[in-house]
Chain A
Amino acid sequence: MKAVVLDAASRGDTRTQEAADALVAALELRGAEVERVVVRDLDIRPCTGCFGCWTRTPGQCVIADDARAVAAQVVASDLYAVVSPVAFGSFGSLAKSVQDRLICLVLPHFTMIDGEVHHRRRYERYPAMVALGTMPAPSAEQSALFARLVERQSVNMHNSTYAAQTVSGSEPTALAAERLLDAVGLRTEVTA
C-alpha cells in the first residue's frame, strides 16, 4: 500500500510534526510504503483561480512549482493523509495551499452526488483520505467542523473513504493516529 503523508506543520510547530511522525510510524507498522511530503520545505504558490488546470492544460496546474509533483503523488497513492494544525475548524493555511492546488485531479464537469452538484471524477480510483488535526486546547465545535470539512472534501475529491481526528493539549498523538487508521479499515495485523 502506498501512502502520502502531507506534513503541514509550520516551522517550530513541533506538536504537529510529532503528530506527522506518529502517523508515519503507524502506517509503516501496517506495512505501508510511506512518502512524507513536508509542505514547509516546498515551493507551493497559492491557486490563482484561473481554471487553467481544467481548460488550458487539462489535468495539470499551469503553475510550475512543487504542487504538480504532490498532485501526481496523491492520485497514485492508496491513502492520502493530511496532518495540520486546526485553524478555527479548518486546515491551516499551509495545508490548504496544497489542497487548493489539487482540483486538477477532478474534472470541471459536474455531476449529482446525493442530490448535490459536485465535480466529476477524472481518474478511475482515488485514495482514502485521513486527516489528523492538532489544537492547543480541546474544542468540540472545532473538532466537529474539522470532521465535517474532511467529509465534504472527500465527497468533492472522490476519496474512496475518509476519517478525521483531532488531538489537543498533551493528548498522545500515537493513539489518535491508530484510531484514524482503524477508522478507514487499516488495522494492525495481529500474529499469534
Chain B
Amino acid sequence: MSDAASRRALFFIGSPKPKGSASASFAEAVGSRLEAEGWETRAERIAPAFSDDNRMLDLIAAIGRADLVVLSFPIYVDSLPAPVLRLLEAWRDALADGSLHPDAAPRLAVLSQCGFPEAKHCGVAVEVCRLFAEEIGIEWAGALAFGMGGSIEGRAIEQSPLGRVLPEFEAAVAALAEGRSIPAESTAAFARPVVPAWGYPMLGGLMWKRQARKRRCAEPLTLRRYAQ
C-alpha cells in the first residue's frame, strides 16, 4: 500500500462501452473533484481484462498502489456485469496466493446506476460489493446508486438530472477525500427517482423506438427469434 501521506484513487470503470458511458461520466465527476483536493487519480476500464490475464494482472497490481478504489458500473441482470465480478474474484485470489500483498488494503467505494427509474435495482450489486470488502478485509466506504443511468452518459453531472442532488454529491466526494465513508444522506438523495415510475414505461418505449429507427432496424422489436 502507498504511504500514509499519499492520496491515490483508482477508478475501475465497469461499463464495457469504450467511451462515453454513464459509468465513466460518474467516475470522472468524482475523480475531478478528488484531484481538486490534491488526490492523484487513475481510471482503468475492466472489460478489456475479462479474457486477458496479463491485463487483469496489471489491474490487480494497480490496486496495490491505491488508497481508495472506486468501482463504477452499470447493473446487468440485477448484479454486477461479469467482467466486474471477474475483477473482484481476481483481487480475492491475488490476496490468497500472495501475488497482492495483504497490506494492499485500499478503501472501497461504489458508484452504480441502472436503466430503471428506481435505484432499488442496484441494491443487490451494492451489497455484493460490501460483502466483498468484508470478505477480503478492506474498509467499505459506501455507495452512490441511482436510476436512469443513461441520463448522465457523456455529460457533466451539473447538466444532468443529478444536478438536483449536487450538494449531496459534493458531500459524498468530500467524505471520500477526507477518508470517511459516503454519508447515508447522500446515498438516500441519489436513490430518489428522477421521474415517477408510472411514467417510465411510456417514456422508455418511445426511446427504444427512436433508437431502432436510428439503427435502421427493419424487424419488429417484439420478434420471437427462438422456437418454444
Interface residues of A (CB under 8 A from B): 45-52, 54-60, 71-72, 75-76, 87-94, 96-97, 99-100, 102-104, 107-112, 115-118, 122-125, 141-142, 145, 148-149, 152-153, 156-157
- Give the chain A neighbours of B201 by CB distance below 8 A: 109-112, 117
CB distance B222 to A93 under 8 Å?
no
Given contacts A49-B74, A76-B227, A152-B78, contact A90 B16 (CB under 8 A): no
A59 to B221, alpha carbons, bound, how many Å? 8
- Give the chain B neighbours of A52 by CB distance below 8 A: 215
CB distance B208 to A90 under 8 Å?
no
Interface residues of B in 75-120 (CB under 8 A from A): 76-83, 85-86, 88-89, 116-118, 120
The residue of chain B having its C-beta at the shortest distance from the C-beta of A91 within the complex is B79
Residue from B51, B78, B224 within 8 A of A153 (CB atoms): B78
Give the interface size bracket for B toward A: 35 or more
CB distance B17 to A87 under 8 Å?
no
The residue of chain B having its C-beta at the shortest distance from the C-beta of A115 within the complex is B197
The binding surface of chain A is classed by DSSP as mixed
CB distance A108 to B221 under 8 Å?
yes
CB distance A145 to B131 under 8 Å?
yes
Residue from B77, B81, B116, B228 within 8 A of A124 (CB atoms): B228
A88 to B108, alpha carbons, bound, how many Å? 14
The residue of chain B having its C-beta at the shortest distance from the C-beta of A116 within the complex is B118
CB distance A71 to B226 under 8 Å?
yes
CB distance B224 to A149 under 8 Å?
no
Q: How far is the CB of A191 from chain B (nearest CB, A)?
A: 31
A114 to B219, alpha carbons, bound, how many Å? 31
A30 to B116, alpha carbons, bound, how many Å? 39
